[in-house]
Amino acid sequence: MDFTININNKSLVASRGETILEVMNRNGIRVPTLCHIKNALPTGACRMCVVEDNKTGKLITSCSFPAEPGMSILTHSPRVVESRKTIIELLLSNHPDDCLYCVRNKNCELQDLSSELHVTERRIRGIKNKANLDLSSASIIRDPEKCILCGRCVYVCEEVMGVACIDFINRGNKSIIGTAFHQGLNTSSCINCGQCIMVCPTGALTEKNHFAQIQEALSNPAKRVVVQYAPSITVSMAEELGMEPGVDINGILNAALRKVGFDHIFDSSFSADLTIMEESAELIHRVQNGGVLPMITSCCPGWVKYAEEFAPDFIPNLSSCKSPQQMMGAIIKSHFAEQENLKPEEIYSVSIMPCTAKKFEAQREEMTREGISDVDAVLTTRELARFLKLFGVDMFNIKPELVDSPLGFRSTAGKLFGASGGVMEAAIRTAYRTLTGKEMVEFQVPALRGFEGRKETKINIDGLELGVAVVNGMTNAKKLLDEIRSGKNDVHFIEIMACPGGCIGGGGQHIGTSDEQLRARMQTLYRIDETERIKVSHKNPEIVDLYKEFLGEPLGHKSHELLHTHYHQREVVK
Amino acid sequence: MTLVQHVLHKYPAVGRDNLIPILQEIQTAEGYLSKKSILEVGRYLDIPASKIFGVATFYNQFRFEPFGVNHVQVCRGTACHVLGSSTVLQELEKHLKVKAGQTTRDGQFSIEVVACIGACGLAPVICVNGEFHAKVTAQSIKEIVDSYKTKGE
Confirm whether B50 is domain-assigned: yes
Q: How many whole angstroms separate alpha carbon A415 and alpha carbon A230?
A: 8
Residues on chain A touching B64 (C-beta within 8 angstroms): 181
Predicted ipTM? Answer: 0.91
Q: How far apart are the first and last CA of chain B?
A: 35
| CA B23 to chain centroid | 14
Asked whether residue A1 carries a pLDDT value surpassing 90, the answer given is no
Convert the pLDDT of each residue in B115-153 to its tens digit: 888 889 998 999 999 899 999 998 899 999 888 886 544
Out of A358, A359, A415, A535, the active site residue is A358
Alpha-carbon dihedral angle through residues A256, A374, A404, A386, given to the nearest 10 degrees = -10
Q: How many whole angstroms separate alpha carbon A504 and alpha carbon A500?
A: 8
Convert the pLDDT of each residue in A191-215 to its tens digit: 999 999 999 999 999 999 999 999 9
How confident is the model over A297-303, as a mean pLDDT? 96
Min Cα–Cα distance to chain B from A178, Å: 8
Convert the pLDDT of each residue in A133-183 to its tens digit: 999 999 999 999 999 999 999 999 999 999 999 999 999 989 999 999 999
Interface test with A, best of B50, B51, B63 (most A CBs within 10 A): B50
Asked whether residue A488 carries a pLDDT value surpassing 70, the answer given is yes
C-beta separation of A62 from A13 below 8 A = no
C-beta separation of A137 from A192 below 8 A = yes
Convert the pLDDT of each residue in A502-512 to its tens digit: 999 999 999 99
Domain edge (last residue) among A76, A93, A109? A76
**Predicted pLDDT of residue A370:** 87
Look over chain A and give the mean of its residue pLDDT values, rounded to a whole number: 95
User: Are B131 and B78 within one domain?
Assistant: yes
User: Are B79 and B116 within one domain?
Assistant: yes
Domain edge (last residue) among A76, A92, A109? A76
Best CA proximity match to B79, nearest among B46, B132, B117:
B117
C-beta separation of A457 from A444 below 8 A = no
- Work out how many domains chain A is built from and give that number: 3
- Provide CB contacts within 8 A for A406, sequence distance 6+: A542, A545, A546
Out of A114, A319, A349, A559, the active site residue is A319
Q: How many whole angstroms separate alpha carbon B114 and alpha carbon B72?
A: 10
**Under DSSP, is residue B38 helix (H, G, I), strand (E, B) or coil?**
helix
Convert the pLDDT of each residue in A422-432 to its tens digit: 999 999 999 99
Decide if A58 is catalytic: no
How confident is the model over A453-458, as a mean pLDDT? 95
Domain edge (last residue) among A58, A76, A94? A76
Min Cα–Cα distance to chain A from B44, Å: 12
Decide if A503 is catalytic: yes
User: Are B95 and B146 within one domain?
Assistant: yes
Give pLDDT < 70 ranges for chain B. Answer: 150-153
**Predicted pLDDT of residue A136:** 96
**Predicted pLDDT of residue B151:** 55
User: Are A433 and A466 within one domain?
Assistant: yes
Domain that holds residue B79: 70-152
Decide if A465 is catalytic: no
User: Are B142 and B79 within one domain?
Assistant: yes
- Provide CB contacts within 8 A for A95, sequence distance 6+: A110, A128, A129, A145, A146, A148, A202
Confirm whether B63 is domain-assigned: no
Reported as a pLDDT band with limits 50, 70 and 90, residue A390 is: very high
- Work out how many domains chain B is built from and give that number: 2
C-beta separation of A83 from A58 below 8 A = no
How confident is the model over A320-342, as a mean pLDDT? 96
User: Are A272 and A370 within one domain?
Assistant: yes
Q: How many whole angstroms separate alpha carbon A253 and alpha carbon A271?
A: 18
Domain that holds residue A182: 125-207
Q: How far apart are the first and last CA of chain A?
A: 44
Interface contact A170-B64, CB threshold 8 A: no
Q: How many whole angstroms separate alpha carbon B72 and alpha carbon A386?
A: 54
Out of A153, A503, A535, A537, the active site residue is A503
**Predicted pLDDT of residue B150:** 63
Interface contact B50-A170, CB threshold 8 A: no
User: Are B90 and B146 within one domain?
Assistant: yes
C-beta separation of A40 from A60 below 8 A = no
Asked whether residue A304 carries a pLDDT value surpassing 80, the answer given is yes
Residues on chain A touching B58 (C-beta within 8 angstroms): 168, 170-171
